[in-house]
């Protein structure tokens, strides 16, 4: 931990900025939006599968918008890119508050939340820190990733309490107010250090982007790295999106289950720090083989038991995987593709990750509507996860 203390003290402002963005990205993450799902379904009188379809459509569009906007972090002042991203997130929260007006308003709100929160804020944080730090990349990314853990620990409790006290409209408007407050705070931040790593003179055209994407997808290593990112987001999103539906159906205590997220967040935080040290010491390429295994193991108890402690075990194990992933995935791309066009590369891989977050709720929602029970859904997720874990081992025996 002494290594972290020394690094954090020396680079406090840069790391604090990255950490804040990952924290604020929570407003567009699936675990956060899932808190609203029961009320949204009730207000609009729609099924789980239909809402999953709406969410999937918004997320698919987000994935394609992400690859057209993600490269700006390589060529535009970071303060400008971040300001407009957070402004978009605040406006999307306002739209969600008034979503009862029409289904189109709900769709636009989901689109904005997914694009700016889950998509761009995470992308900006991970890209600028990975590019800024080389030898200490693992530590920088792991500290920033702890922002996810803090959000997962506090936001569900705060939002659940607000929803019990008020309603969807009041809660989402309060979230928007919080984001506007940070925009005011941003005026006093000096982020010019991040701009030193940019190529501000470059002109990026659609043709250049398409060429870059074609080069990425033509290489074998893409088909080793991409499925790993896809399956992790698919499984976690599918579970977290409907978690409070599962809680209700299985007659679990909502309050007790929500409190489990503190354990999940602590686990993720600890593993994020450990992951940073491991990446700096052994490289992300080596950790890539193993980081999904806890996720697969964590699903097993829920196949054979509907006890709430099975959910706790899962949250601990997925906390291990997500804690490692926050550092491993971005560091791996920097190691494999370099940092010159890291924003472009990350946005392309993130497109598939975001697509998986659309597919997860859609597929599971359809299965639920067709009467497939909770245990069978979990079993199918296990089979998918271990198929990808096997694929991750390919890089050990053949050249990329």
Count of CB atoms situated within 10 Å of the CB of 249: 13
Which residues lie below 8 Å from residue 366, measured CB to CB, with a gap of 6+?
A: 49, 52
Contacts of 177 (CB under 8 A, 6+ apart): none
Confidence at residue 1, expressed as pLDDT on a 0 to 100 scale: 65
User: Which pLDDT belongs to residue 110?
Assistant: 93
DSSP symbol at 99: G
Q: Quick one: 286 exposed, middle or buried, by C-beta within 10 A (0-12, 13-18, 19+)?
A: middle
Domain ranges of the chain: 16-188+218-390
Phi first, then psi, for residue 189 (nearest 5°) are -90, 140
Q: What is the pLDDT of residue 192?
A: 77
pLDDT in the model for residue 174? 95
**How many whole angstroms separate alpha carbon 379 and alpha carbon 302?**
8
User: How many whole angstroms separate alpha carbon 128 and alpha carbon 132?
Assistant: 6
- At 145 the pLDDT is 83
Please determine, looking at this structure, whether the domain spanning 16-188+218-390 carries the CATH number 3.40.190.120. no
User: In sequence order, what are the residues at sequence separation of 6 or more whose Cβ sits closer than 8 angstroms to the Cβ of residue 272?
Assistant: 142, 143, 145, 146, 148, 149, 323, 324, 326, 327
Residues 203-247: tens digit of each pLDDT: 555 666 677 778 778 788 888 888 988 898 899 888 887 887 888
Residues of the chain with pLDDT under 50: 396-397, 399-400
- Listing DSSP states for 30-43 in one string gives HHHHGGGHHHHHHH
Structure tokens at 274: 């450990």
């Amino acid at each position: 931990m002494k290594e972290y203390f020394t690094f954090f003290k020396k680079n406090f402002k840069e790391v604090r900025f990255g950490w804040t963005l990952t924290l604020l990205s929570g407003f567009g993450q699936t675990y956060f939006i899932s808190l609203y799902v029961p009320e949204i379904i009730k207000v609009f009188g729609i099924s789980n599968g239909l809402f999953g379809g709406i969410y999937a459509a918004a997320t698919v569009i987000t994935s394609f918008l992400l690859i057209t906007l993600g490269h700006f972090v390589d060529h535009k002042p970071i303060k400008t890119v971040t300001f407009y991203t957070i402004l978009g997130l605040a406006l999307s929260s306002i739209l969600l508050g008034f979503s009862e007006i029409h289904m189109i308003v709900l769709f636009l709100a989901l689109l904005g939340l997914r694009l700016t929160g889950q998509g761009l804020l995470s992308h900006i944080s991970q890209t600028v820190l990975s590019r800024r730090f080389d030898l200490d990349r693992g530590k920088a990314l792991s500290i920033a990733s702890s922002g996810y853990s803090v959000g997962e620990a506090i936001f569900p409790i705060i939002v659940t309490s607000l929803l019990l006290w008020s309603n969807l409209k009041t809660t989402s408007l309060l979230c928007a107010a919080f984001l506007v407050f940070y925009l005011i705070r941003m005026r006093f931040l000096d982020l010019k250090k991040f701009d030193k790593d940019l190529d501000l003179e470059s002109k990026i055209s659609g043709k250049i982007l398409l060429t870059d994407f074609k080069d990425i997808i033509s290489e074998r290593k893409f088909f080793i790295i991409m499925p790993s990112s896809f399956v992790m987001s698919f499984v976690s999103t599918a579970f977290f999106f409907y978690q409070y539906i599962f809680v209700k159906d299985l007659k679990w205590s909502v309050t007790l289950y929500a409190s489990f997220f503190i354990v999940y967040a602590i686990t993720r935080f600890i593993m994020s720090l450990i992951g940073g040290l491991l990446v700096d010491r052994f490289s992300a390429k080596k950790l890539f083989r193993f980081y999904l295994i806890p996720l697969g193991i964590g699903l097993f108890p829920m196949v054979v038991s509907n006890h709430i402690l099975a959910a706790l075990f899962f949250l601990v194990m997925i906390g291990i995987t997500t804690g490692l992933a926050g550092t491993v995935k971005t560091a791996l791309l920097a190691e494999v593709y370099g940092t010159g066009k890291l924003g472009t590369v990350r946005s392309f891989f993130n497109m598939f990750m975001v697509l998986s977050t659309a597919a997860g709720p859609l597929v599971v929602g359809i299965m639920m509507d067709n009467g497939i029970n909770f245990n069978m859904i979990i079993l199918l997720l296990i089979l998918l996860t271990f198929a990808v874990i096997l694929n991750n081992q390919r890089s050990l025996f053949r050249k990329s």
